[in-house]
Structure 1
Amino acid sequence: MRDYEYLDLEQRGLVTWVRLNRPERLNALSTEIQKDLIEAVTALEADDSSRVIVLATTSAKAFSVGADLKEVPSGGWVDPMRAVTRNVYEAVFECRKPTIAAVRGWAVGGGMELAMACDMRLAAADAQFRMPEGRVGMAANFGSQMLPRLVPWAHAFDILYRGETFGADHAERIGLVSEVCPVDLLDARVGEIAEVISTRAPLSLRRFKAMIQQGSSLPVSAALRLDPGPSPYLSKDRVEGAAAFKEKREPRWTGE
Protein backbone atom coordinates (compact mmCIF):
# COMPACT_ATOMS: atom_id res chain seq x y z
CA MET A 1 0.00 0.00 0.00
CA ARG A 2 1.42 3.36 -0.94
CA ASP A 3 1.18 6.49 1.16
CA TYR A 4 -1.57 9.01 0.41
CA GLU A 5 -1.54 12.66 1.35
CA TYR A 6 -5.11 12.70 2.67
CA LEU A 7 -5.68 9.07 3.64
CA ASP A 8 -4.33 6.92 6.43
CA LEU A 9 -4.34 3.23 5.45
CA GLU A 10 -3.94 0.39 7.92
CA GLN A 11 -4.27 -3.32 7.23
CA ARG A 12 -5.47 -5.53 10.07
CA GLY A 13 -5.40 -9.10 8.86
CA LEU A 14 -7.74 -9.30 5.87
CA VAL A 15 -9.39 -5.95 6.68
CA THR A 16 -8.06 -2.64 5.42
CA TRP A 17 -9.01 0.60 7.19
CA VAL A 18 -9.04 3.69 4.99
CA ARG A 19 -9.26 6.78 7.19
CA LEU A 20 -9.98 10.19 5.71
CA ASN A 21 -7.13 12.34 6.99
CA ARG A 22 -7.78 16.02 6.45
CA PRO A 23 -8.86 16.94 9.99
CA GLU A 24 -8.10 20.65 9.70
CA ARG A 25 -10.89 20.88 7.07
CA LEU A 26 -13.11 18.23 8.70
CA ASN A 27 -12.32 15.91 5.78
CA ALA A 28 -13.94 18.19 3.21
CA LEU A 29 -13.83 16.32 -0.10
CA SER A 30 -11.35 18.33 -2.11
CA THR A 31 -10.35 17.19 -5.58
CA GLU A 32 -7.17 15.67 -4.18
CA ILE A 33 -8.82 13.65 -1.42
CA GLN A 34 -11.34 12.32 -3.94
CA LYS A 35 -8.51 11.26 -6.25
CA ASP A 36 -6.78 9.54 -3.34
CA LEU A 37 -9.97 7.68 -2.41
CA ILE A 38 -10.64 6.52 -5.96
CA GLU A 39 -7.06 5.29 -6.34
CA ALA A 40 -6.96 3.58 -2.95
CA VAL A 41 -10.32 1.80 -3.30
CA THR A 42 -9.48 0.68 -6.85
CA ALA A 43 -6.12 -0.70 -5.68
CA LEU A 44 -7.66 -2.50 -2.70
CA GLU A 45 -10.33 -4.03 -4.92
CA ALA A 46 -7.54 -5.76 -6.85
CA ASP A 47 -5.53 -6.73 -3.75
CA ASP A 48 -6.20 -10.32 -2.71
CA SER A 49 -4.68 -9.70 0.73
CA SER A 50 -7.56 -7.35 1.57
CA ARG A 51 -11.09 -8.78 1.69
CA VAL A 52 -13.02 -6.03 3.51
CA ILE A 53 -12.63 -2.24 3.30
CA VAL A 54 -13.59 0.08 6.14
CA LEU A 55 -13.97 3.81 5.48
CA ALA A 56 -13.38 5.82 8.65
CA THR A 57 -11.84 9.08 9.84
CA THR A 58 -8.84 10.35 11.78
CA SER A 59 -10.93 13.28 13.01
CA ALA A 60 -12.84 13.22 16.27
CA LYS A 61 -15.22 15.80 14.83
CA ALA A 62 -16.21 14.54 11.40
CA PHE A 63 -16.44 11.61 9.04
CA SER A 64 -16.63 14.21 6.27
CA VAL A 65 -18.43 17.52 5.83
CA GLY A 66 -18.77 16.91 2.10
CA ALA A 67 -17.78 19.05 -0.86
CA ASP A 68 -15.05 21.59 -0.26
CA LEU A 69 -17.04 24.72 -1.11
CA LYS A 70 -13.90 26.86 -0.71
CA GLU A 71 -12.31 25.03 -3.61
CA VAL A 72 -13.26 26.18 -7.11
CA PRO A 73 -12.72 23.26 -9.50
CA SER A 74 -10.53 24.04 -12.48
CA GLY A 75 -12.86 24.79 -15.36
CA GLY A 76 -15.72 25.52 -12.95
CA TRP A 77 -18.53 23.27 -11.70
CA VAL A 78 -19.96 20.60 -14.00
CA ASP A 79 -22.74 18.05 -13.63
CA PRO A 80 -21.21 15.10 -11.74
CA MET A 81 -21.93 12.48 -14.39
CA ARG A 82 -20.56 14.66 -17.20
CA ALA A 83 -17.07 15.03 -15.75
CA VAL A 84 -14.15 13.27 -17.43
CA THR A 85 -12.94 11.63 -14.22
CA ARG A 86 -14.53 8.79 -12.27
CA ASN A 87 -17.00 9.78 -9.57
CA VAL A 88 -15.70 8.97 -6.06
CA TYR A 89 -19.09 7.68 -4.88
CA GLU A 90 -19.29 5.33 -7.85
CA ALA A 91 -15.79 4.03 -7.14
CA VAL A 92 -16.81 3.05 -3.61
CA PHE A 93 -20.29 1.79 -4.56
CA GLU A 94 -18.97 -0.34 -7.44
CA CYS A 95 -16.13 -1.89 -5.44
CA ARG A 96 -16.78 -5.63 -5.55
CA LYS A 97 -15.56 -6.21 -2.00
CA PRO A 98 -17.57 -5.56 1.17
CA THR A 99 -17.32 -1.97 2.37
CA ILE A 100 -18.28 -0.57 5.77
CA ALA A 101 -18.50 3.08 6.82
CA ALA A 102 -17.57 3.85 10.44
CA VAL A 103 -19.25 7.22 10.96
CA ARG A 104 -18.47 9.54 13.82
CA GLY A 105 -19.08 13.27 14.10
CA TRP A 106 -20.43 15.11 11.09
CA ALA A 107 -21.45 13.31 7.90
CA VAL A 108 -22.71 16.16 5.74
CA GLY A 109 -23.65 16.31 2.07
CA GLY A 110 -20.98 14.48 0.11
CA GLY A 111 -19.70 12.98 3.35
CA MET A 112 -23.07 11.39 3.96
CA GLU A 113 -23.13 10.29 0.32
CA LEU A 114 -19.74 8.64 0.80
CA ALA A 115 -21.13 6.68 3.75
CA MET A 116 -24.17 5.72 1.67
CA ALA A 117 -21.87 4.39 -1.06
CA CYS A 118 -20.71 1.71 1.39
CA ASP A 119 -22.56 -1.57 1.85
CA MET A 120 -22.98 -1.06 5.59
CA ARG A 121 -22.91 1.90 7.95
CA LEU A 122 -22.29 1.89 11.68
CA ALA A 123 -22.45 5.17 13.58
CA ALA A 124 -20.98 6.47 16.80
CA ALA A 125 -23.49 7.98 19.19
CA ASP A 126 -22.12 11.45 18.34
CA ALA A 127 -22.74 11.10 14.59
CA GLN A 128 -24.72 13.92 12.96
CA PHE A 129 -26.14 13.61 9.45
CA ARG A 130 -27.34 16.27 7.04
CA MET A 131 -27.96 16.68 3.32
CA PRO A 132 -27.88 20.50 2.93
CA GLU A 133 -27.69 20.67 -0.86
CA GLY A 134 -31.06 22.41 -1.12
CA ARG A 135 -29.67 25.15 1.12
CA VAL A 136 -26.65 25.87 -1.09
CA GLY A 137 -28.06 25.25 -4.57
CA MET A 138 -26.48 21.84 -5.15
CA ALA A 139 -28.29 18.68 -6.27
CA ALA A 140 -27.12 15.64 -4.23
CA ASN A 141 -26.87 13.64 -7.44
CA PHE A 142 -25.71 10.42 -5.76
CA GLY A 143 -27.65 10.92 -2.54
CA SER A 144 -30.94 11.48 -4.31
CA GLN A 145 -30.58 8.00 -5.82
CA MET A 146 -29.20 6.20 -2.78
CA LEU A 147 -31.46 7.57 -0.05
CA PRO A 148 -34.70 6.06 -1.43
CA ARG A 149 -32.86 2.76 -1.82
CA LEU A 150 -31.82 2.77 1.83
CA VAL A 151 -34.77 4.38 3.66
CA PRO A 152 -38.50 4.79 2.98
CA TRP A 153 -39.32 7.49 0.45
CA ALA A 154 -40.98 9.76 3.00
CA HIS A 155 -37.75 9.91 4.99
CA ALA A 156 -35.66 10.40 1.84
CA PHE A 157 -37.79 13.35 0.77
CA ASP A 158 -37.71 14.81 4.26
CA ILE A 159 -33.91 14.59 4.48
CA LEU A 160 -33.43 16.16 1.06
CA TYR A 161 -36.22 18.73 1.11
CA ARG A 162 -35.56 20.20 4.56
CA GLY A 163 -31.82 19.69 4.80
CA GLU A 164 -32.01 19.46 8.58
CA THR A 165 -29.56 17.75 10.93
CA PHE A 166 -30.49 14.41 12.50
CA GLY A 167 -28.62 12.19 14.91
CA ALA A 168 -27.42 8.62 15.00
CA ASP A 169 -30.50 7.27 16.79
CA HIS A 170 -32.81 8.62 14.08
CA ALA A 171 -30.48 7.26 11.39
CA GLU A 172 -30.74 3.80 12.97
CA ARG A 173 -34.51 4.09 13.37
CA ILE A 174 -35.07 4.76 9.66
CA GLY A 175 -32.54 2.14 8.56
CA LEU A 176 -29.77 4.43 7.31
CA VAL A 177 -27.31 2.82 9.74
CA SER A 178 -27.42 -0.72 11.05
CA GLU A 179 -26.05 -0.02 14.52
CA VAL A 180 -25.17 2.84 16.89
CA CYS A 181 -22.22 2.43 19.22
CA PRO A 182 -20.66 4.45 22.02
CA VAL A 183 -17.97 6.70 20.54
CA ASP A 184 -15.08 4.86 22.17
CA LEU A 185 -16.38 1.46 21.02
CA LEU A 186 -17.12 2.25 17.36
CA ASP A 187 -13.81 1.11 15.90
CA ALA A 188 -13.81 -2.08 17.96
CA ARG A 189 -17.35 -2.98 16.90
CA VAL A 190 -16.72 -2.21 13.23
CA GLY A 191 -13.48 -4.19 13.41
CA GLU A 192 -15.31 -7.14 14.95
CA ILE A 193 -17.93 -7.17 12.18
CA ALA A 194 -15.36 -6.66 9.42
CA GLU A 195 -13.21 -9.50 10.73
CA VAL A 196 -16.17 -11.90 10.69
CA ILE A 197 -17.04 -10.88 7.13
CA SER A 198 -13.43 -11.38 6.06
CA THR A 199 -13.67 -15.08 7.03
CA ARG A 200 -16.57 -15.72 4.63
CA ALA A 201 -16.13 -17.09 1.11
CA PRO A 202 -14.94 -14.21 -1.13
CA LEU A 203 -16.89 -15.34 -4.18
CA SER A 204 -20.07 -15.70 -2.14
CA LEU A 205 -19.67 -12.15 -0.78
CA ARG A 206 -19.03 -10.84 -4.27
CA ARG A 207 -22.14 -12.64 -5.52
CA PHE A 208 -24.30 -11.29 -2.67
CA LYS A 209 -23.20 -7.74 -3.44
CA ALA A 210 -23.81 -8.02 -7.16
CA MET A 211 -27.21 -9.67 -6.70
CA ILE A 212 -28.39 -7.03 -4.24
CA GLN A 213 -27.12 -4.09 -6.28
CA GLN A 214 -28.28 -5.36 -9.65
CA GLY A 215 -31.39 -7.25 -8.65
CA SER A 216 -33.10 -5.09 -6.04
CA SER A 217 -34.88 -2.96 -8.63
CA LEU A 218 -35.94 -5.94 -10.79
CA PRO A 219 -38.94 -8.24 -10.50
CA VAL A 220 -37.98 -11.32 -8.48
CA SER A 221 -38.36 -13.58 -11.51
CA ALA A 222 -35.82 -11.49 -13.44
CA ALA A 223 -33.48 -10.97 -10.50
CA LEU A 224 -33.23 -14.72 -9.89
CA ARG A 225 -31.87 -15.14 -13.41
CA LEU A 226 -29.00 -12.70 -12.97
CA ASP A 227 -25.64 -14.39 -13.30
CA PRO A 228 -22.97 -11.96 -12.09
CA GLY A 229 -20.10 -14.44 -12.28
CA PRO A 230 -17.92 -16.06 -11.30
CA SER A 231 -20.42 -18.48 -9.87
CA PRO A 232 -19.82 -19.73 -6.30
CA TYR A 233 -21.80 -22.84 -7.20
CA LEU A 234 -19.10 -23.93 -9.66
CA SER A 235 -16.09 -22.77 -7.64
CA LYS A 236 -13.25 -24.57 -5.87
CA ASP A 237 -14.27 -22.66 -2.76
CA ARG A 238 -17.64 -24.44 -2.73
CA VAL A 239 -15.81 -27.77 -2.65
CA GLU A 240 -13.49 -26.45 0.06
CA GLY A 241 -16.41 -25.13 2.11
CA ALA A 242 -18.14 -28.50 2.08
CA ALA A 243 -14.90 -30.29 2.96
CA ALA A 244 -14.17 -27.90 5.83
CA PHE A 245 -17.67 -28.38 7.22
CA LYS A 246 -17.34 -32.16 7.04
CA GLU A 247 -13.88 -32.11 8.64
CA LYS A 248 -14.94 -29.57 11.30
CA ARG A 249 -12.21 -27.05 10.46
CA GLU A 250 -11.99 -23.50 9.19
CA PRO A 251 -12.16 -23.26 5.37
CA ARG A 252 -9.15 -22.10 3.39
CA TRP A 253 -10.63 -19.81 0.76
CA THR A 254 -8.75 -19.10 -2.48
CA GLY A 255 -11.38 -17.05 -4.28
CA GLU A 256 -11.45 -19.59 -7.09
Structure 2
Amino acid sequence: MSILRSFGSFALEVREDGVAIATFSRPPVNAVSLSVYEDIGRFADHVAGDDNIKCIVITAPDNARAWCGGADLHEFKGMTVEKRKERYRFINAQLPRFHQIDRPMIAAIRGAAIGVGVMLAGMCDLRVAGEHAQFACPEVDYGLVGGSAGMFAMLKMPEAKVREMVYTGRTFTARELEPTGFFNYVVPRAAVLPLALDLATEIAGKSMPALRARKLASLMQEGPEWMEAYLEAQEMSSALVERPESEAAILAALKGKRKRKQD
Protein backbone atom coordinates (compact mmCIF):
# COMPACT_ATOMS: atom_id res chain seq x y z
CA MET A 1 0.00 0.00 0.00
CA SER A 2 1.34 3.42 -0.95
CA ILE A 3 1.64 6.36 1.44
CA LEU A 4 0.58 9.71 -0.01
CA ARG A 5 1.84 13.08 1.22
CA SER A 6 1.74 16.62 -0.11
CA PHE A 7 4.31 19.41 0.10
CA GLY A 8 2.62 22.29 -1.67
CA SER A 9 3.41 21.82 -5.34
CA PHE A 10 4.90 18.35 -4.75
CA ALA A 11 2.81 15.22 -4.24
CA LEU A 12 4.78 12.31 -2.82
CA GLU A 13 3.78 8.68 -3.17
CA VAL A 14 5.92 6.17 -1.27
CA ARG A 15 5.51 2.56 -2.36
CA GLU A 16 6.06 -0.46 -0.13
CA ASP A 17 9.24 -1.33 -2.01
CA GLY A 18 10.84 1.99 -1.05
CA VAL A 19 10.35 3.74 -4.38
CA ALA A 20 9.02 7.28 -3.92
CA ILE A 21 7.35 9.14 -6.78
CA ALA A 22 7.50 12.92 -6.38
CA THR A 23 5.17 14.72 -8.81
CA PHE A 24 5.78 18.42 -9.35
CA SER A 25 2.55 20.15 -10.33
CA ARG A 26 2.17 23.92 -10.56
CA PRO A 27 0.05 24.71 -13.63
CA PRO A 28 0.25 25.96 -16.23
CA VAL A 29 3.99 25.45 -16.84
CA ASN A 30 5.48 24.27 -13.53
CA ALA A 31 7.22 27.60 -13.03
CA VAL A 32 9.37 27.89 -9.91
CA SER A 33 8.30 30.64 -7.52
CA LEU A 34 9.70 31.34 -4.07
CA SER A 35 6.87 29.22 -2.67
CA VAL A 36 8.09 26.29 -4.79
CA TYR A 37 11.59 26.66 -3.38
CA GLU A 38 10.03 26.51 0.07
CA ASP A 39 8.17 23.34 -0.98
CA ILE A 40 11.47 21.87 -2.19
CA GLY A 41 13.04 22.50 1.23
CA ARG A 42 10.08 20.88 3.03
CA PHE A 43 10.21 17.92 0.66
CA ALA A 44 13.95 17.46 1.25
CA ASP A 45 13.52 17.64 5.02
CA HIS A 46 10.79 15.00 4.90
CA VAL A 47 12.90 12.61 2.82
CA ALA A 48 15.81 13.03 5.24
CA GLY A 49 13.60 11.76 8.07
CA ASP A 50 11.76 8.99 6.21
CA ASP A 51 13.63 5.69 6.31
CA ASN A 52 10.99 4.08 4.08
CA ILE A 53 12.28 6.00 1.05
CA LYS A 54 15.14 4.31 -0.78
CA CYS A 55 14.99 5.89 -4.24
CA ILE A 56 13.06 8.88 -5.62
CA VAL A 57 11.63 9.49 -9.09
CA ILE A 58 10.94 13.17 -9.86
CA THR A 59 8.21 13.58 -12.47
CA ALA A 60 5.37 15.86 -13.58
CA PRO A 61 1.72 15.10 -14.37
CA ASP A 62 0.96 13.39 -17.67
CA ASN A 63 -0.66 16.53 -19.07
CA ALA A 64 1.91 19.02 -17.74
CA ARG A 65 3.25 21.49 -20.30
CA ALA A 66 6.73 21.23 -18.74
CA TRP A 67 8.71 19.10 -16.30
CA CYS A 68 9.93 22.42 -14.91
CA GLY A 69 9.29 25.63 -16.80
CA GLY A 70 11.99 27.71 -15.11
CA ALA A 71 11.73 30.68 -12.78
CA ASP A 72 8.36 32.37 -12.37
CA LEU A 73 8.96 35.58 -14.31
CA HIS A 74 6.10 37.35 -12.53
CA GLU A 75 8.40 37.59 -9.51
CA PHE A 76 11.01 39.44 -11.59
CA LYS A 77 8.89 42.49 -12.39
CA GLY A 78 10.42 45.58 -10.79
CA MET A 79 13.43 43.58 -9.64
CA THR A 80 16.26 45.47 -7.97
CA VAL A 81 19.76 44.40 -7.02
CA GLU A 82 18.81 44.07 -3.36
CA LYS A 83 15.60 42.18 -4.13
CA ARG A 84 17.55 39.81 -6.37
CA LYS A 85 20.13 39.16 -3.66
CA GLU A 86 17.36 38.60 -1.12
CA ARG A 87 15.77 36.11 -3.52
CA TYR A 88 19.07 34.29 -3.91
CA ARG A 89 19.53 34.14 -0.13
CA PHE A 90 16.17 32.41 0.13
CA ILE A 91 16.93 30.04 -2.76
CA ASN A 92 20.34 29.16 -1.29
CA ALA A 93 18.65 28.12 1.95
CA GLN A 94 16.44 25.65 0.04
CA LEU A 95 18.04 24.31 -3.14
CA PRO A 96 21.18 22.78 -1.57
CA ARG A 97 18.91 20.68 0.67
CA PHE A 98 17.44 19.10 -2.46
CA HIS A 99 20.88 18.49 -3.90
CA GLN A 100 22.10 16.91 -0.66
CA ILE A 101 19.24 14.40 -0.26
CA ASP A 102 21.02 11.20 0.77
CA ARG A 103 18.99 8.90 -1.46
CA PRO A 104 19.37 8.28 -5.21
CA MET A 105 17.10 10.53 -7.31
CA ILE A 106 15.97 9.93 -10.88
CA ALA A 107 14.60 12.72 -13.08
CA ALA A 108 11.85 11.37 -15.35
CA ILE A 109 11.59 14.22 -17.86
CA ARG A 110 8.73 14.06 -20.35
CA GLY A 111 8.37 17.82 -20.93
CA ALA A 112 10.52 20.91 -21.04
CA ALA A 113 13.20 21.69 -18.46
CA ILE A 114 14.07 25.38 -18.58
CA GLY A 115 16.56 27.40 -16.52
CA VAL A 116 16.35 26.18 -12.95
CA GLY A 117 14.63 23.08 -14.36
CA VAL A 118 17.95 22.14 -15.96
CA MET A 119 19.62 22.71 -12.59
CA LEU A 120 17.14 20.45 -10.79
CA ALA A 121 17.60 17.74 -13.42
CA GLY A 122 21.36 18.02 -13.05
CA MET A 123 21.11 17.65 -9.28
CA CYS A 124 19.42 14.28 -9.74
CA ASP A 125 21.62 11.20 -9.93
CA LEU A 126 20.09 9.76 -13.09
CA ARG A 127 18.13 11.36 -15.94
CA VAL A 128 15.66 9.67 -18.27
CA ALA A 129 14.26 12.02 -20.92
CA GLY A 130 11.72 11.89 -23.70
CA GLU A 131 13.42 12.32 -27.05
CA HIS A 132 11.43 15.49 -27.82
CA ALA A 133 11.67 16.99 -24.33
CA GLN A 134 13.19 20.47 -24.56
CA PHE A 135 16.05 21.95 -22.56
CA ALA A 136 17.24 25.56 -22.42
CA CYS A 137 19.26 27.99 -20.32
CA PRO A 138 17.57 31.22 -21.48
CA GLU A 139 18.86 33.62 -18.82
CA VAL A 140 20.95 35.50 -21.38
CA ASP A 141 17.72 36.44 -23.18
CA TYR A 142 16.67 38.33 -20.05
CA GLY A 143 20.00 40.10 -19.70
CA LEU A 144 20.99 37.85 -16.80
CA VAL A 145 23.54 35.15 -15.96
CA GLY A 146 22.41 31.58 -15.41
CA GLY A 147 24.06 29.26 -12.92
CA SER A 148 24.02 26.02 -14.90
CA ALA A 149 27.46 26.19 -16.48
CA GLY A 150 29.32 25.13 -13.33
CA MET A 151 27.02 22.17 -12.88
CA PHE A 152 27.45 21.17 -16.52
CA ALA A 153 31.21 21.31 -16.05
CA MET A 154 30.93 19.11 -12.94
CA LEU A 155 28.93 16.62 -15.03
CA LYS A 156 31.72 16.78 -17.65
CA MET A 157 29.49 17.96 -20.47
CA PRO A 158 31.43 19.15 -23.54
CA GLU A 159 32.43 22.75 -22.90
CA ALA A 160 31.65 23.83 -26.47
CA LYS A 161 28.02 22.71 -26.14
CA VAL A 162 27.71 24.27 -22.68
CA ARG A 163 28.84 27.64 -24.03
CA GLU A 164 26.48 27.35 -26.98
CA MET A 165 23.59 26.77 -24.58
CA VAL A 166 24.37 29.62 -22.18
CA TYR A 167 25.44 32.18 -24.82
CA THR A 168 22.54 31.62 -27.23
CA GLY A 169 19.75 30.67 -24.84
CA ARG A 170 18.59 28.27 -27.57
CA THR A 171 16.26 25.36 -26.93
CA PHE A 172 17.59 21.86 -27.58
CA THR A 173 15.77 18.54 -27.58
CA ALA A 174 16.99 15.67 -25.45
CA ARG A 175 17.89 13.82 -28.62
CA GLU A 176 20.11 16.74 -29.71
CA LEU A 177 21.80 16.79 -26.30
CA GLU A 178 22.14 13.02 -26.01
CA PRO A 179 25.81 12.99 -27.17
CA THR A 180 26.75 15.29 -24.25
CA GLY A 181 26.21 12.48 -21.73
CA PHE A 182 23.70 14.54 -19.69
CA PHE A 183 21.15 11.71 -19.86
CA ASN A 184 21.26 8.07 -18.91
CA TYR A 185 18.53 7.28 -21.43
CA VAL A 186 16.68 9.19 -24.17
CA VAL A 187 13.53 7.31 -25.14
CA PRO A 188 10.06 7.91 -26.57
CA ARG A 189 7.89 9.96 -24.22
CA ALA A 190 5.65 7.06 -23.24
CA ALA A 191 8.66 5.03 -22.11
CA VAL A 192 10.16 7.66 -19.79
CA LEU A 193 8.29 7.03 -16.55
CA PRO A 194 8.16 3.22 -16.86
CA LEU A 195 11.93 3.11 -17.45
CA ALA A 196 12.61 5.50 -14.55
CA LEU A 197 10.44 3.37 -12.26
CA ASP A 198 12.19 0.19 -13.39
CA LEU A 199 15.55 1.75 -12.50
CA ALA A 200 14.19 2.97 -9.16
CA THR A 201 12.80 -0.48 -8.35
CA GLU A 202 16.17 -2.08 -9.04
CA ILE A 203 17.97 0.50 -6.91
CA ALA A 204 15.45 0.22 -4.06
CA GLY A 205 16.29 -3.48 -3.80
CA LYS A 206 19.74 -2.60 -2.50
CA SER A 207 20.85 -2.03 1.10
CA MET A 208 19.67 1.30 2.53
CA PRO A 209 22.95 2.01 4.39
CA ALA A 210 24.88 1.26 1.19
CA LEU A 211 22.66 3.55 -0.88
CA ARG A 212 23.03 6.40 1.58
CA ALA A 213 26.78 5.96 1.83
CA ARG A 214 27.10 5.77 -1.96
CA LYS A 215 25.07 8.97 -2.39
CA LEU A 216 27.16 10.84 0.17
CA ALA A 217 30.34 9.57 -1.49
CA SER A 218 29.06 10.80 -4.86
CA LEU A 219 28.34 14.23 -3.41
CA MET A 220 31.86 14.37 -1.99
CA GLN A 221 33.31 13.39 -5.37
CA GLU A 222 31.52 16.33 -6.99
CA GLY A 223 33.41 18.76 -4.78
CA PRO A 224 32.37 22.33 -3.97
CA GLU A 225 33.67 24.01 -7.10
CA TRP A 226 30.48 23.93 -9.14
CA MET A 227 28.45 25.37 -6.26
CA GLU A 228 31.04 28.12 -5.82
CA ALA A 229 30.68 28.94 -9.52
CA TYR A 230 26.89 28.97 -9.11
CA LEU A 231 27.12 31.47 -6.25
CA GLU A 232 29.49 33.67 -8.23
CA ALA A 233 27.05 33.61 -11.17
CA GLN A 234 24.34 34.78 -8.80
CA GLU A 235 26.42 37.79 -7.84
CA MET A 236 26.99 38.69 -11.47
CA SER A 237 23.33 38.21 -12.32
CA SER A 238 22.25 40.41 -9.40
CA ALA A 239 24.34 43.27 -10.77
CA LEU A 240 22.46 43.12 -14.09
CA VAL A 241 18.81 43.06 -13.00
CA GLU A 242 18.33 46.83 -12.92
CA ARG A 243 19.56 47.34 -16.47
CA PRO A 244 16.75 48.52 -18.77
CA GLU A 245 17.19 45.65 -21.23
CA SER A 246 16.66 43.10 -18.49
CA GLU A 247 13.39 44.63 -17.29
CA ALA A 248 12.21 45.07 -20.90
CA ALA A 249 12.94 41.43 -21.72
CA ILE A 250 11.03 40.20 -18.66
CA LEU A 251 7.99 42.34 -19.50
CA ALA A 252 8.10 41.26 -23.16
CA ALA A 253 8.21 37.61 -22.17
CA LEU A 254 5.24 37.99 -19.84
CA LYS A 255 3.31 39.90 -22.49
CA GLY A 256 4.04 37.14 -25.00
CA LYS A 257 2.79 34.49 -22.59
CA ARG A 258 -0.44 36.41 -21.97
CA LYS A 259 -1.01 36.76 -25.71
CA ARG A 260 -0.45 33.04 -26.32
CA LYS A 261 -2.89 32.25 -23.52
CA GLN A 262 -5.55 34.52 -25.07
CA ASP A 263 -5.00 33.02 -28.51
TM-score interval (norm. to shorter): 0.7 to 0.9
1:155-196 deviation line (CA, Å, top 9, x unaligned): 222221221111111222111111012211211111000010
The verdict on how the C-alpha distance between 1:162 and 1:9 changes in structure 2, with shifts beyond 3 A counting, is same
Quick check: 1:42 aligned with 2:45? yes
Matched residues in 1 for 2:106 and 2:195: separation? 11
TM-score for the superposition, normalised by structure 2:
0.75
Alignment-mate amino acid for residue 64 of structure 1: C
CA contact (8 A) 2:100 2:219 kept: no
The verdict on how the C-alpha distance between 1:19 and 1:68 changes in structure 2, with shifts beyond 3 A counting, is same
CA contact (8 A) 1:89 1:113 kept: no
Quick check: 1:66 aligned with 2:70? yes
CA contact (8 A) 1:102 1:186 kept: yes
Quick check: 1:165 aligned with 2:171? yes
Matched residues in 1 for 2:10 and 2:222: separation? 32
Q: Aligned to 2:194, which of 183, 188, 206?
A: 188
| Deviation >3 Å, runs of 4+ | 72-75, 84-89
Matched residues in 1 for 2:140 and 2:103: separation? 33
Give the 5 Å matches for 1:1-256. Answer: 2-13=5-16, 14-24=18-28, 26-58=29-61, 59-72=63-76, 76-78=83-85, 83-84=89-90, 86-141=92-147, 143-150=148-155, 151-216=157-222
Q: Describe the SS at the equivalent of 1:23.
A: coil
The equivalent of 1:242 in structure 2 is: none
Alignment-mate amino acid for residue 137 of structure 2: M
1:88-139 deviation line (CA, Å, top 9, x unaligned): 4322211111111111111000111111111111101221000011111222
1:20-66 deviation line (CA, Å, top 9, x unaligned): 11122x10001111111211122112200111111111143210111
Matched residues in 1 for 2:11 and 2:95: separation? 19
1:201-242 deviation line (CA, Å, top 9, x unaligned): 222222222223223559xxxxxxxxxxxxxxxxxxxxxxxx
The verdict on how the C-alpha distance between 1:21 and 1:84 changes in structure 2, with shifts beyond 3 A counting, is closer
CA shift, 1:85, in A, is: 5.7
TM-score for the superposition, normalised by structure 1:
0.77
CA contact (8 A) 2:115 2:137 kept: yes
Q: State how many pairs are aligned.
A: 215
Matched residues in 2 for 1:194 and 1:7: separation? 18
User: Which has more helix, going by share of residues?
Assistant: 2
Per chain length, whose mean CA-contact separation is higher, i.e. which structure has more relative contact order (CA < 8 Å, sep 6+)?
2
Gaps of 5+ in 2: 225-263
The equivalent of 2:238 in structure 1 is: none
The verdict on how the C-alpha distance between 1:93 and 1:4 changes in structure 2, with shifts beyond 3 A counting, is closer
The equivalent of 2:253 in structure 1 is: none
Matched residues in 2 for 1:216 and 1:66: separation? 24
